[in-house]
Amino acid sequence: MTILVTGGAGFIGSNFVLDWLAASDEDVVNLDKLTYAGNVHNLADLASDPRHIFVQGDIGDAGLVAALLKAHSPRAVLNFAAESHVDRSILGPLEFIQTNIVGTFHLLEQVRAYWGGIDAQAQAGFRFLHVSTDEVYGSLASRDPAFTETHRYEPNSPYSASKAASDHLVRAYHHTYGLPVLTTNCSNNYGPLHFPEKLIPLMIVNAQAGKPLPVYGDGQQIRDWLYVKDHCSAIRTVLQGGRLGETYNIGGWNEKPNLHIVHTVCDLLDELKPRADGQSYRSQIAYVTDRPGHDRRYAIDARKIEQELGWKPAETFETGIRKTVQWYLDHPQWVAQVQSGAYREWVATQYAQT
Ligand code: NAD
Ligand code: TYD
């Protein structure tokens, strides 16, 4: 048996592929465009593993997707591929529309054609799992209850609007064509292999480089943090037992203001790798202009996945953030490589023939 993963060289996708192949013998076809956020080095441990088939390409390339589906006959497609950074979506929304909406549409079309052509037993077992975000629900006021699966969609950024549109397309392909879909909406992830443009890895990397730690606005915006490996286990759980056409919210009940996150990272670094001058890394915090349209609070009500499918996160925020800071301290070469322009040249050369 085989699964097709899209975006499997990104942060969550590569963690998912690594965890999947550590726990199962099922082959993974990994389709990733290798944008700035995709990194084949994330998958270096699989370099000689024949169960992992990496293909550089776009989910919007109908011919390529059709050929992969025909060649590998996957029993499931898991769609992680996306443009994922809110700040980039504010500076340039087009790529977000192109990949998250148009790309997902083309992927759905090819999967629908493939699914329509397989035998009844394979059709019944097939799943299309769409990985989405809690940001589609918009922003909560401080006393509002956490997002349930029936919360109204109110996306506020070009990123969240494009993800919301993709969720609607996935839903429509189930209701209109009967495609066996599952959708997951997860809160903010953190952990190993996280590209240092997002809050937690940026703070870890900047702190060590002696650079400012930029906190947007008053730093009191709240996110609900989940260790990436727990997100991966939730996706495996939904793939295995989720009811067709359903949405599952994924979160670890870990609401924290941004400033608390930054303080925690600084305190862990003070303990694990103290500054030479004896000062705390907190002294590097710099308040900067707020993000336009900045959502104030996200929070996930995870009762559906917990009660229906028995999923629970393995990490608390305290254990997960310690592991994360330690991982970055242990992998300075990974950080240096993702930050270097040479990385992109290497990819262009490496994949020039394929
Ligand atoms: P990421 O930006 O780290 O990785 C995205 C991956 O998709 C990259 O490897 C990139 O090369 C690939 N990609 C982009 N466009 C592509 C295309 N057109 N065709 C094929 N591949 C393409 O993102 P991430 O943080 O790993 O997020 C993965 C998914 O999870 C996204 O759909 C995101 O919306 C969702 N999500 C992320 C979070 C989070 O906190 N990071 C939380 C909830 C949901
Ligand atoms: P981010 O990691 O970009 O995730 P998202 O915007 O998808 O939630 O940002 C998390 C929070 O941290 C968000 O409220 C914006 C804030 N933030 C900063 O204060 N400074 C930064 O440099 C970054 C990247 C984010």
Render pLDDT for 308-318 as a digit per residue (tens, 0 to 9). Answer: 999 999 999 99
Alpha carbon nearest to ligand 1 atom 42, residue: 188
Confidence of residue 354 (pLDDT cuts 50, 70, 90): very low
| Mean pLDDT across 256-277 | 98
pLDDT, residue 346, reads 56
- pLDDT tens for 89-140 read 999 999 999 999 999 999 999 999 999 999 999 999 999 999 999 999 999 9
85, 213, 223: residue to mutate for ligand 2 pocket, most atoms within 8 A of CB: 223
Beta carbons of 13 and 42 less than 8 angstroms apart: no
Task: Kindly list the distances between the CA atom of residue 177 and the CA atoms of 111, 172, 215, in Å, as whole numbers in the listed order.
Answer: 11, 8, 46
Question: Which residue carries 């879909």 as its tokens?
Answer: 181
Q: How is residue 300 annotated by DSSP? A: B
Q: Give residue 100 CA to ligand 2 midpoint distance, Å.
A: 20
pLDDT, residue 29, reads 98
Question: Which residue carries 């990496």 as its tokens?
Answer: 54
Q: Is the pLDDT of residue 343 over 60?
A: no
- Nearest C-alpha neighbor of 20 from the set 8, 31, 35: 8
- pLDDT tens for 30-47 read 999 999 999 999 999 999
Confidence of residue 321 (pLDDT cuts 50, 70, 90): very high
pLDDT, residue 344, reads 59
pLDDT, residue 82, reads 98
What are the residue ranges spanned by the domains of the chain? 2-190+226-253+298-314
Indicate whether residue 34 lines ligand 1 (CB < 6 A): yes
pLDDT, residue 342, reads 63
Which two structure tokens, joined as six digits, stand for 332?
């300075």
Between CA 296 and CA 283 the distance in angstroms is 25
List phi, psi (to 5°) of 225.
Answer: -95, 135
User: Which residue out of 159, 173, 248, 281 is catalytically annotated?
Assistant: 159
- Nearest C-alpha neighbor of 167 from the set 75, 253, 246: 246
Helices (H), the chain: 11-23, 62-72, 86-91, 94-96, 104-116, 120-125, 158-177, 199-209, 228-241, 258-272, 303-309, 317-330, 332-339, 342-350
Ligand nearest to the CA of 10: 1
- pLDDT tens for 223-266 read 999 999 999 999 999 999 999 999 999 999 999 999 999 999 99
Beta carbons of 103 and 59 less than 8 angstroms apart: yes
| Mean pLDDT across 206-230 | 97
Residue 203 CA: nearest ligand 2 atom is 22
- pLDDT tens for 48-75 read 999 999 999 999 999 999 999 999 999 9
User: Which residue out of 27, 32, 58, 135 is catalytically annotated?
Assistant: 135
Between CA 28 and CA 7 the distance in angstroms is 12
Percent of the chain clearing pLDDT 90 (strictly above):
95
Indicate whether residue 10 lines ligand 1 (CB < 6 A): yes
Q: Give residue 2 CA to ligand 1 midpoint distance, Å.
A: 21
**CATH code of domain 2-190+226-253+298-314:** 3.40.50.720
Residues lining ligand 2, Cβ inside 6 A: 86, 188, 198-199, 202, 214-216, 221, 223, 258, 291
